[in-house]
Amino acid sequence: MAARKSATRSAPAARTADLRGQGDELHQQAGGTHPPLTTNQGIPVSDNQNSLRAGPRGPTLLEDFVLREKIMHFDHERIPERIVHARGTGAHGYFELTKSLSRYTTAKILTEVGEKTPLFTRFSTVAGGAGSVDTPRDVRGFAVKFYTKEGNWDLVGNNIPVFFIQDAIKFPDLIHAVKMEPDRGFPQAASAHDTFWDYISLTPEATHMIMWAMSDRAIPRSLRMIEGFGIHSFRLLNAKGESTFVKFHWRPKLGLQSTVWDEAVKLAGADPDFQRRDLFEAITAGNFPEWELGVQLFTEQEAEAFPFDHLDPTKLIPEELVPLQIVGRMVLDRWPDNFFAETEQVAYCPANIVPGIDFSNDPLLQGRLFSYLDTQLSRLGSANFHQIPVNAPKCPFANNQRDGHMQTQIPKGRVAYEPSSLQDDSPRETPTGFRSHATADDGVKGRVRAESFADHYTQARLFYRSQSKPEQAHMASALVFELSKVETPHVREAVVGQLRHVDGDLAQRVADGLGMDGLPPAPPAAVEAQDMPPSPALQLIGKMKDTLKGRTVGILVHDGSDAATVKALQKAATAAGASCKLVAPKLGVQLSDGKRLAADGQLAGTPSFVFDAVAVILDAEAGKRLAKDAAAIDFVSNAWAHLKAIASDAGAQPLLKAGNVGKDAGIVDAADAKAFITAAKTRQWAREPKLRMLA
């Protein structure tokens, strides 16, 4: 009987051993040196494929601590996502000061020229959840954590220099309005719905920001090609305690670049991670993104002479009024080792500043100083979130704060208070520590708003009238698109009425696009809009750089494509600073020289809208075949519709004809690589009115 029991047990054991043996064999085939798999307590795991059971077909045993730990940790892997800015990506880098501001501040990061300060930068969208797409029409967050010698400084801003509201008390209402409508749970990552525009129609102070949000700034081509703004006025304090106001600006070395709306929509479907992938590929290829840090500096007396209130976050300071001074540069040169541990857990707060920098009385900024800390406590679950490596200062820090959930440090000594006399090395306040500026106020308490905040339309008009003609058309078309999704007629009418204060022609274009009979009345304005001189610095198209650096060229090829032409285009694009990728119907392709190449993308899964310019090199037979292929036709027709340069040879002509590709300065002979590179550096804006009905 005992012998039979032994035999019964040995057969399943043998089968289990065989299964484990197959797994071991696969691990060995994979190669490499693998550390032993352990539990969180460091206990080696012998079998990670089978839970502990009471027999091969019996129940799983509660004593299986390997299973319990693994499942428990998995069940708790998600933390609450950010209420706003949930969809984001980030990278490590450094800041290097190139011009000292010692006349204005004691902050070492702004006084020590040549010093490189490590940092972590996170980019994000605002409205969508963590699982939304990269390319909606939305504001982009631009937050930088500097790990300075004097503590962490967080410069937390956006790619737009103004905001929707003037007071932080309105922020929950703004976000509730733009988020998914609570009764239906959609739309996701979109402002084109009733609740948002209802709120906007009743919030005149948002008009300036709406102009920016409906511009091409809200559909950037790449995170490497956006500006960043601290939005608020801050103060710089020098050694004498003297104060100078400052606004911070980030300027991309690659220049500004946007998509067009149809392209942004299609990118969302073709590659929801398009901008995240773009940043990752650039950094891993060694093409490190770089921004210049610029500052606008002005005194209290100069601020009083401005025709607006600089403490109003819905206003900007035109560069023609206060020129930008470039004082440093930021380089992003390292991708995070773990997305969750770093990009997801990084916690920014505008209240994190260093000695020599201070706050202004901007009421939106004042509310942010509270809100960010509060939301990090909720999201990261502990007052000790600053001990997470990505959040921890890289300079020494010491205080008497103790204990709390997930305390990872081991403070020593008996003293956890101050003043004290029992411990020689306990932390003490220091005369060189942070000091706040002595800001005078009128001493009158009340829920009031300054009269200097009452002009809601002058700068909105300035922004619109400063744009180029194509950009104005894009803004009008964006407003038509957004408002066409609004179901409630009186909301549409109220928004168009507001637009009359900005520009009568803009209001008429939007009304016509919505099929309105006449213009709705303009609501009363507390302050009538004034005409300011146009500011070319507010344009996007006008600020695009004449370069291909940081851009990507796609070359569509097939078996038999002319190898010499392909190589010449690759060489020219690479020399111009662009990356170059081959696209083919199959991932393997044999060119005319008989050499077989691996394509970078398969045609059906690599549409032209992931490139900045395209070339089509085909022999006669391939051109005829692809002229009947829907993916190939879309490849060229979308490139044409998205105003991109297209180079082609004789064999490609049937395909271009099938895609209804016309003729203009952006359509060039593939044999002329120089002409192609010139055309590829910009969109063909003159083509646009011929292709689509713009408002």
The C-alpha atoms of residue 542 and residue 559 are separated, in whole angstroms, by 41
Measuring CA to CA, which residue among 687, 606, 610, 621 is closest to residue 651? 621
Largest CA distance in the chain: 103
Give the active site residue among 92, 152, 158, 249.
Answer: 158
DSSP element (H, E) containing 274: helix 274-284
Question: Are 635 and 556 a contacting pair, CB within 8 Å?
Answer: yes
The C-alpha atoms of residue 624 and residue 626 are separated, in whole angstroms, by 6
Measuring CA to CA, which residue among 551, 687, 558, 548 is closest to residue 635? 558
Residue 182, by phi and psi: left (phi above 0), alpha (psi -120 to 50) or beta? alpha
Residue 654, by phi and psi: left (phi above 0), alpha (psi -120 to 50) or beta? alpha
Pairing assessment for the beta strands 88-97 and 116-125 based on DSSP bridges: antiparallel
Question: Are 220 and 539 a contacting pair, CB within 8 Å?
Answer: no
The C-alpha atoms of residue 539 and residue 378 are separated, in whole angstroms, by 39
Phi, psi for 397 (deg, rounded to 5)? -145, 145
Question: Are 214 and 479 a contacting pair, CB within 8 Å?
Answer: yes
Phi, psi for 250 (deg, rounded to 5)? -105, 130
Measuring CA to CA, which residue among 428, 357, 450 is closest to residue 111? 357
Give the active site residue among 34, 40, 48, 85.
Answer: 85
The C-alpha atoms of residue 234 and residue 247 are separated, in whole angstroms, by 6
Reply yes or no on whether 85 is catalytic.
yes
Reply yes or no on whether 40 is catalytic.
no
The C-alpha atoms of residue 511 and residue 597 are separated, in whole angstroms, by 54
Residue type, 553: V
The beta strands (E) that lie in 126-215 are given as 140-148, 151-158
The C-alpha atoms of residue 471 and residue 215 are separated, in whole angstroms, by 7
The C-alpha atoms of residue 641 and residue 635 are separated, in whole angstroms, by 10
If you count them, how many residues does the chain have? 695
Give the alpha-carbon dihedral of 686, 694, 161, 151, to 10 degrees: -80
For the annotated catalytic residues, the residue numbers are: 85, 158
